[in-house]
Structures are given as structure tokens and as C-alpha cells.
Structure 1
């Protein structure tokens, strides 16, 4: 059965499953165009502290390349940083299947549901300022939400609202697949979900639902009186020092970037989705970033550098998801010790996670979201990499919503 966009706005990878920012700069480590596809290269700019040694590096190269070939992934960028041990940054495969342009460790990708970590961070900063409360009902800020008097901001952030996911609505799927360059508004996408009854009482269980994050984006706009993209830029990206991360208004995409490939099309054929409009994902999955920024963000979000200790503790109070080994907090997951999020949007998948026990960071960027043997390609790569570098903390099977629901 072909996957639908509802299943993947962002790779259900709970692992284990608008203002345009400046164009990304190209570091001096760019790989010459003559490098053959699949040969790969190691990014010295992002691995200044030295590698993990020739033996471990060779094992990682093989693990990543084996998954890439077996899963049919066009290109992969993999980065691992382990203080006191070294680092590994590697690109393999192609960024463009037509020209054969090689994948490189610089450039931007669409990060899908990793956007949720930025949206929830902006929300939690408002909590720290006393401008909102996590247990406020959504009806206080947004009208028309089914059962809105009983659904709290906390329920929305921890995926326990019971709202029907708009990305599971057949009408939405048809409209998006038929017109992937279309501009969607937040209230417009929410309306698709409101056609359906809520699926359970607030707080009763976990269900990944992008409607939740769109509503939180509207709360941020209501309270601040500013566009969500501007709030995230000024209150999250700039304080965190993220210069190449942005929240696009429509289909903007800074150069350079790899082409993205998806099978989320009306007939299930593979298409180049690079320039599709991610506005339908908005606060749940529209953002763009690069390897450097994601590496930094992994630690910031996992350790709460932008939040008070009390609010970060609330964020990390994870609850069971129904998937062994994986729990979910406020816009963040924990699986086998790794804390962070993954993302999937037509054409791209990412994983950005931090392992507090070893102060280790892993970032993965892929230019496809086409599943292999029923699994997200980013999960396969993450499992292979952590199986080599952190065998006691292997990134496990991500949380996967039902086929009728999209993505984590």
C-alpha cells in the first residue's frame, strides 16, 4: 500500500522512530564536481577535532554505504560528534540523480517534523515569561477547536490531544498530491481534520498528530502578535546562533541543496519534490536547516539552553508512546538514551539527536523519504550508525503512526 503524505510529514521517526534567512555559505571543503557518485567524502570543516580513527571510520563508511545501496537512498550526509573520542562527518551518493552531482556535507535540506522542536521551544519561552501556561485550554487562544475547552497546550505538545490529524483526511491527501506547489494557510489545513470526530479523550493516549503543532503555532502568533516565522527567528534561531536555519513562507530554498525524491504522488511514482511548497506543514514541519546548525541545535534543545531548568524538566517528562523503547515529551522524544527528533517531508528526511550519557550528537540528512521494507530510510541509517559508534544505545525502530495517520 502506498504511503500518503499523512503518514510522513515528518518521519515518524520517533526513533527508536516568513523571513528567508541568508543563503548558506559554501565552506572550503566543498567536494569537486569530478568526485564520482557514491565515492563519498569526509567533511573536514565539520570535524575539526579529528576523526574516530581509521578502523572505526572504515566501519562507519561501510555501514552507511551498505544502507544507502540496499535502501536505494540517493544521498546521505551523516555526522557523529563524540567529545573525547573524535567525530565522523561523511557524505555519500548523489545530490541530483539527473546530473550525478555528488552529495556534500554543506548545503540545506528540508527538515520536516524537526520543525516541532523549534515551535515548542518558542512556546516554552512564553511559558518561562509567564505569558501562557501549559495547562491552559486551547480554546483560550484559538476558537473552533473540537473539545477545545478540555484540550490543553500540554496535550497538544505531547501528542495527546485526541484531535484527528488533518494529514490523514482523504480530501487533504488528494488536494496536496494533486497540487504540491499550492499555498496552504494554517486554519485551512486544520479544517480538514475538523471534519472528523476526535479520536480519544484528551490525555488518554499518544497519537502523533500534526494538527497539534499547527495549533501551537497559532497560539504563539496570538500571544506575541507576530508571525510565527518571525518569532522563531528572533527568539529561537538568533539566540541559539543558528544562521542557516529558516522558516520559509512558501517554497523558498537556499542554495546549495540536494534535490529531493518522493513517492508521495497520486500514482505512487517517484517524483522530484525539491520545489514543492511545505506551507501545509507550517509549524509542524516546514523548516529548513543544514548540518552545522543541526549539530548545534541537537545539544541546545536536549539540554534546554534556551529555557529555565524547570521548563526544560517539563519538556523532558516523557510518556509512553505504545512503541517499546520510545517515549515522547513536549515536542521531543527519547529512545534508548537519545533525545531529539526526526523529520520527514516529501523528498527529505533528517534525524537530530543528542546522547547525554556520552555528550554525543548525531545528525543525518537524506534526500528521499521513500520507505524501504516498510521503514523510514533515516531510521535504517540511524540504526546502522549507532550500532557502530554507540552499541549500547542503538537508535531503534521509530514510533510509527497507523498507516492512516502520517508521520512522526
Structure 2
């Protein structure tokens, strides 16, 4: 397996559109946006957006190309979604194809933690060890520091991922607990504080916190508190839920026959807290609009998401890299899929882009998509 989410985070922090200055401190999100639009963008106006997708699949082997792509845009006036190309099995993609969006899962985990803090069920400034006793919480990093990836808990190393992949591949249909996957973490924990450093284990610990506070599976809490209120129709937190069809084809040799999960239950459950979400592009775009538009969390917690210089709380701060205004969102990357959510609240627009290939420079087609969007938003 190839895991490059950490590399993508570095690219995002340095300018994931392929250029531009390093982000500076960002203001909090603006006041609550209007409800997302329901009208479909006129076909003649949507042609420029579909042309961007056609360009992606025209050069599938380029660093920013892909064999298949789906995308969606949500504004306060209209919505659009499109697709081009096919998955690795040759099945044509549709706008509503469920595809793993990997680290975009972290935006949901962060939002749930902030909701629980708002309800006084946990304290962001308390050490995570107050609630979750684990070897990775022994340095007394706070809940907020884990959210902001400044807890001193580094990411899994390549060897860790390799051993984990071998173990889950031995039984592709087995459910893995969060604690079982964390047993494969081998890097020494550092003192908390300092600059953000990509950490999947921190978000695994935060999922454990959600389960400790709510008394149930974290996927159930995310559905109850976030998915349902945001009106999301096509989101599944594996392996607590199976992706809704149509589902992208996968070709992971370790998984054997398809079992309804992507790529299979063992891999999906082992990475569930930080990368288990499977969704279609319209769902991801709607989620971004609702979240950063202040329609899921109260104004205070919404602003907390976007505080910082590089990484907020479960949120990448993208400055003006995509040309339309200050952007927030998250990148996701796995062995066979890349995804990017970009929300520009001042323009009342949310954009989701998903590629049927992993490790791609997805910021390039996203920049082309937002450029095509500009005349449609005026």
C-alpha cells in the first residue's frame, strides 16, 4: 500500500495549488451562510466545469491527471456535479459514486469534538489523558493539541503501515478496533506544542474520546450529530456503515473478493477514525458548505475550526491559493484515491474534487476548477 497523506499535508501547507506564498494567519469563518441552493446549474454554464474534468482524464498518467474523476459545487444559489473517466476496474464513474475520501474524515471528527465541548461534555484545554488512558496520551497533550496536530504524536512510519497492511490483509473481512490499529505505532512520542505535524494516530485517539464521552461507536455519533443535521445523503463511515451504491471499484490484491467496503472491511476499519469515510462528491461539497458556512456548529466552534496559520482544528487553512478568497477544507489521499474539499465562505461556495488514483497533485485540477467557477459566481 502507498500512504502519502502526510506528504499531501505538507503540499497543502506550502500551497497545494502548486504555487503562492505560505499561508499567513487566517481570520475566523464569517457569519452563517444562507441555506445551500437547490437549483441545478444550467448545462451551458456548466460546460466549462465539465471541461476541467475531461482534461483530468485526458492525461491519466500525469502527476495531476487520473483515470477517473468526480466533482461537485455547492453555492447559495445553485449546485452542480459531474464525472469523467472510470475506476480501476473500468466502470464509468458517476457524480454519485461513493469513493473513499480518506483524511476528509478528520473534518467530521473535529466537528464532533467541538460539539461535545460546546455541550460541556469535554474540555478542549484538558489533557486527552483525562478521558483516554493510552501510551500515546501519556505526554499530557491537550484535546486541542491533538485536534491541531501539535500533540507531539507523529504519524505512522512507512514500516508501521507496512506491518499493519500485512496484518489486515491476512483476514480481509475482520473488524479492527481503534486500539488494535494503534498497536502498530512505533515512533516515540514527543513533547506537545510547536508546528503542526501530520498525525493519523491523534485522530484515532480523538475517535476513542468520542466513544468514551458518547458511550457508543464514533460513527454513530457522527451520523446523529453531523450527517443527519447537515442533510448529507451519501456518506458512510466504514466499517460502521457500508458505502451506498454505486461504489467505486478497487483492485487491492490483499482484499480478495469485494465485500461491500472499500477496499475491504479490514482496511476500512483499521483506518476508520482518520480515513474511513466513503462519500460522493455532492455530499462532500454540501458538508463543506454546511460546516464552514456555520450551519452545523454554533459560531464560536465554527471559528475555532479555522484559527491558526497552517492547520486549524481538523482543517487545512489554504489562504488565497485558489484565487477566489480565503479557503478552508482538507485533502485526502489513499492508495487508489485522492480528494480535496475547498470552501470559500466569502464567495458562498464549496467545491469537492475526487480522483480515482492516489498520490496525485490534486491541487492543480482544483485550481483549474475554481478558475472556471469564477465567472459563474459573479
TM-score relative to the length of structure 2: 0.78
Deviation of 1:345 (Å): 2.3
Q: Quote the Cα distance in structure 2 between the aligned partners of 1:111 and 1:59.
A: 23
Q: How does 1:13-162 map to 2 (within 5 A)?
A: 14=12, 16-17=15-16, 48-51=40-43, 53=45, 56-57=48-49, 60-61=52-53, 63-66=55-58, 68=60, 70-71=62-63, 73-82=66-75, 88-97=80-89, 100-146=90-136, 148=138, 150-162=140-152
Aligned to 1:350: 339
Aligned to 2:216: 226
2:181 paired residue among 171, 189, 201: 189
Deviation of 1:176 (Å): 0.6
1:330 paired residue among 313, 318, 336: 313
Residues 151-203 of structure 1, C-alpha deviation per residue, up to 9 Å, x if partnerless? Answer: 000000001011132x215144233146433543211222222x3312x4211
Residues 302-350 of structure 1, C-alpha deviation per residue, up to 9 Å, x if partnerless? Answer: 123222211222221123xxxxxxx210001121222111212222222
Over 3 Å counting, the alpha-carbon distance change for 1:51 and 1:339 in structure 2 is farther
Q: Quote the Cα distance in structure 2 between the aligned partners of 1:241 and 1:156.
A: 28
What SS is found at the alignment partner of 1:53? helix
What SS is found at the alignment partner of 2:40? coil
Q: How does 1:131-280 map to 2 (within 5 A)?
A: 131-146=121-136, 148=138, 150-165=140-155, 167-168=156-157, 170-177=159-166, 179-180=168-169, 181=172, 183-193=175-185, 195-198=186-189, 200-249=190-239, 252-260=242-250, 274-275=263-264, 277-280=267-270
2:370 paired residue among 386, 390, 393: 386
Greater helix percent: which structure?
A: 2
Aligned to 2:355: 366
Residues 266-308 of structure 1, C-alpha deviation per residue, up to 9 Å, x if partnerless? Answer: xxxxxxx733621121211111111232121011111232222
Over 3 Å counting, the alpha-carbon distance change for 1:176 and 1:54 in structure 2 is closer
Deviation of 1:140 (Å): 0.4
Give yes or no for contact 1:77–1:366 (8 Å, CA) kept in 2. yes
Q: Quote the Cα distance in structure 2 between the aligned partners of 1:253 and 1:49.
A: 27
1:282 paired residue among 262, 272, 280: 272
Give yes or no for contact 2:98–2:248 (8 Å, CA) kept in 1. yes
Deviation of 1:365 (Å): 1.7
2:281 paired residue among 286, 291, 294: 291
Deviation of 1:121 (Å): 1.0
Deviation of 1:208 (Å): 0.4
Q: Quote the Cα distance in structure 1 between the aligned partners of 2:223 and 2:202.
A: 21
Give yes or no for contact 2:66–2:357 (8 Å, CA) kept in 1. yes
Give yes or no for contact 1:51–1:57 (8 Å, CA) kept in 2. no
Over 3 Å counting, the alpha-carbon distance change for 1:244 and 1:88 in structure 2 is closer
Give yes or no for contact 1:347–1:367 (8 Å, CA) kept in 2. yes
Deviation of 1:247 (Å): 1.2
Deviation of 1:103 (Å): 1.7
CA RMSD of aligned residues (A): 3.1
Over 3 Å counting, the alpha-carbon distance change for 1:143 and 1:365 in structure 2 is same
2:1 counterpart of 1:8: no
Q: Quote the Cα distance in structure 1 between the aligned partners of 2:46 and 2:242.
A: 40
Deviation of 1:78 (Å): 2.2
Give yes or no for contact 1:50–1:87 (8 Å, CA) kept in 2. no
Q: Quote the Cα distance in structure 1 between the aligned partners of 2:232 and 2:181.
A: 29
TM-score relative to the length of structure 1: 0.73
Between 349-358 and 51-60, report the one with greater CA deviation. Answer: 51-60
